[in-house]
Amino acid sequence: MPSLLSEKTDRELRLQVGLAGVLFVALAIGVIWYYFTPKYARVGYRPEQPVPFSHEIHAGQLGLSCLYCHTHVDDSVFANVPATQTCMNCHAKIQANSPLLAEVRASYESGRPVRWKKIHQLPDYAYFNHAVHVQRGVSCISCHGKVNQMKVVFHAESLSMSWCLDCHRNPTPNLRPPSEVTNLDWQPPEGKTAAQVGLEIQERLLINPPETCQACHR
């Protein structure tokens, strides 16, 4: 029985099917590599908050310290969102009748909290201690980005486990003098790189970040 396809067509078809198979596998790998990661799923998350609070104005333009509102990042496990009372320290007089602040005033009168949306959400089985990092010279910027330039805060880093471990294995680029932690515009002094400053800090404060499982999963 003669074959249905000529030898040339047969070769052509085999090549096409083979190529299609290879490309399909490559595409699947590519899609998983590019999309199945917090770098895609989390970075850039910018929810609309109940009050249009601008970190750019408060932390950038006015130069308020991060600690004015997030009072206990330097001595507490978690970074607290400020009480409404903190907003009212100033906004009882400044922009006191602004409609943008209606939610804040309502919260102050009723005692019900403003329902801020949490942006940086670690899994519940990961234990992150803010105080330890802040006290040791890891700047806010390392995990939260240039918040003092953000009108609306967004998720700037992936906060994935490998991202945590990158820094725990080599912390020097992210270490600075602990007094400069909340200075988001800090630059290493002339003639030194951030890593060189970080190395000095690491040696001075005996920083030895744990890489064991129970450091974060306990």
92 binds other proteins (CB under 8 A): yes
Nearest to 99 by CA among 48, 55, 52: 52
Q: Rule CB under 8 A: is residue 23 a binding residue for other proteins?
A: yes
Q: How many residues bind other proteins (CB under 8 A)?
A: 53
19 interacts with other proteins by CB under 8 A: yes
Cβ closest to other proteins, residue 49 vs residue 196: 49
Considering only residues 191 to 210 of the shown chain, the ones binding other proteins according to CB under 8 A are none
Which residue of 1, 2, 3, 93 would you call a contact of other proteins, by CB under 8 A? Answer: 93
Long-range pairs of 103-110 with CB within 8 A, sequence gap ≥ 24: 103/50, 103/51, 104/51, 108/84
**Integer Cα distance of 66 and 182 in angstroms:** 6
What character string, x for contact with other proteins (CB under 8 A) and - otherwise, covers 61-80? -xxxx-xx--x-----xx-x
For residue 90, give the H/E element and its range. Answer: helix 84-91
Count Cα neighbours of 148 within 13 Å in the Cβ-side half-sphere: 18
Task: Choose between 20 and 100: whose C-beta lies nearer to other proteins.
Answer: 20
Distance of CA 164 to the CA centre of its chain: 11
* Beta-bridge partner residues of 175: 138
Of 165, 187, 179, nearest in space to 136 by CA: 179
Interface ranges with other proteins (CB under 8 A): 12, 15-16, 19-20, 23, 27, 31, 34-36, 38-48, 62-65, 67-68, 71, 77-78, 80-81, 83, 85-86, 88-90, 92-94, 111-113, 115, 121, 123-125, 154-155, 179
